[in-house]
Amino acid sequence: MMRKIHPDVIRLGVVSFLTDVSSEAIFSVFSIFFTTIIGASAALLGVVEGLADFSASSLDYVSGYLSDKTGRRKPIAVAGYGFSTLAKCFLVFANSLSLVALFRVIERLGKSMRGPARDAWIADVTTDGNRGYSFGAHKAMDKAGAVLGPLLAYLLFAAYGETADAFRILFICAALVAGVAVLTLLAVRERPGTPHERDNIFKSWRLLSPEFRRYLIPASLFALAYFSFGFLLLKAYQTGFSVADVILLYALFNVSFVVFSIPFGSLGDAYGRWKIISAGYLLYAVMSVGFVYATEPWQIIGLFIIFGAFYAIDEAQTKAFIADIERERRASAVGLYNFVTGIVYVPASVIAGVLWAWQSTYAFVFAAGVALLALCVFLALRRKIVVPALA
């Protein structure tokens, strides 16, 4: 059933769509480009991806704090999208291991800048009755770009082959599309939030709701199980999928994300988002165990679909849940959540890289165990993480 969505959700969805066409076209082949064309090891990939994950959340708390303090959403979002676009232009000329690794880390800084302000913008124009649906719709548009981006990459490699020149052409096209996304956002009229001018960045976390601070406990624990998706793509490649087929698998993952985003959002609105988040933790554990035993192409395909369903929960419904339990300082809450989990992503990816070098199945066993532990902690704290009533 279609529900009314605020126009700003659609406009921001278009910006995210274009950005993901650009970013995901690159990411769908980055782990292969980094290890085969540039010549890096899987262990180094783990370090770089861990640093990239941290970079993607390193400025979240600062940008969220600034957005809440000033009540401004658009300037910070524009700065974040613009920074990522500049980094993609830099990738076009990167020709060494260190420069390519530097791109991966720097580009994610843009994501860190824009995320809290944009998500708070969406939360500001939604209600309790349609917040999950709206976040799901926005993320569906976002990941629709992540479907198109890898498909365009696939067509490019089908035409030019798996060569260094083909990678370079892909990077140029991605930078151009990212530029169009920034221009689109500049045309959107800002809707300022409520400023909190007296907030101090070093003390504002104390002003966040107790429910949100409790939620950070299982969320941080789960982040330790959350190693880079690049390892899943590498697993498929090592199982026998070609570069072109890996790109299609990545597109399939994003199709799964798009398909599940809105239904999960509606279910969260109707039956409680904590149930959906619990299901997400369980799905991740099931997927991790599946990769331990997967040897056939159809099994890998099925696991990528499951991962898409999990990611639809993690990307959209987690943010909607935070907006539910933190009414006053939503950008700061989203920023702090991203920052804390981002810190944990660094050891998570490093651990995954080390375990992978030892035996790839160990990385998946570790992830499954930690995910189940996080689920138990979340359920144990559920009664203390209640959604406050509207004032």
What is the per-residue DSSP string for 141-185?
A: HHHHHHHHHHHHHHHHHHHH-S-HHHHHHHHHHHHHHHHHHHHHH
Q: What is the pLDDT of residue 390?
A: 43
Question: What tens digit of pLDDT does each residue of 346-390 get?
Answer: 788 788 888 888 888 899 999 999 999 999 999 998 887 766 554
Q: What is the pLDDT of residue 3?
A: 61
Name 253's Cβ contacts closer than 8 Å, sequence gap at least 6.
229, 304, 305, 307, 308, 311
> What whole-number distance in Å separates Cα of residue 250 and Cα of residue 239?
15
Tokens linked to 343: 């810190």
Q: What is the pLDDT of residue 175?
A: 93
Q: What is the pLDDT of residue 197?
A: 61
The pLDDT tens digits along the chain (391 residues) read 456 788 889 999 999 999 999 998 898 788 778 887 777 777 787 788 777 877 777 788 888 888 888 888 899 999 999 989 988 988 888 777 888 888 888 888 888 889 888 988 888 888 877 888 888 889 889 888 878 888 888 888 888 887 778 888 999 999 999 999 999 999 888 776 666 665 656 666 677 888 888 999 999 999 999 877 778 888 888 888 887 788 788 778 888 988 998 899 888 888 888 899 999 999 999 999 999 998 888 899 999 999 999 998 988 888 888 888 887 788 888 888 888 887 887 788 788 888 888 888 899 999 999 999 999 999 998 887 766 554 3
Name 79's Cβ contacts closer than 8 Å, sequence gap at least 6.
113, 114
Q: What is the pLDDT of residue 388?
A: 57
> What whole-number distance in Å separates Cα of residue 238 and Cα of residue 1?
42
DSSP output for 54-77: HHHHHTHHHHHHHHHHH---HHHH
> What whole-number distance in Å separates Cα of residue 129 and Cα of residue 337?
23
Q: What is the pLDDT of residue 276?
A: 92
**Torsion on CA atoms 179, 312, 317, 8, rounded to nearest 10:** 30
> What whole-number distance in Å separates Cα of residue 160 and Cα of residue 285?
38
First-residue to last-residue Cα distance in the chain: 29
List % helix, strand, coil for the chain (3-state, nearest 5).
80, 0, 20
Residue keyed to tokens 């303090």: 69
Residue 189 burial (10 A CB sphere; 0-12, 13-18, 19+) = exposed
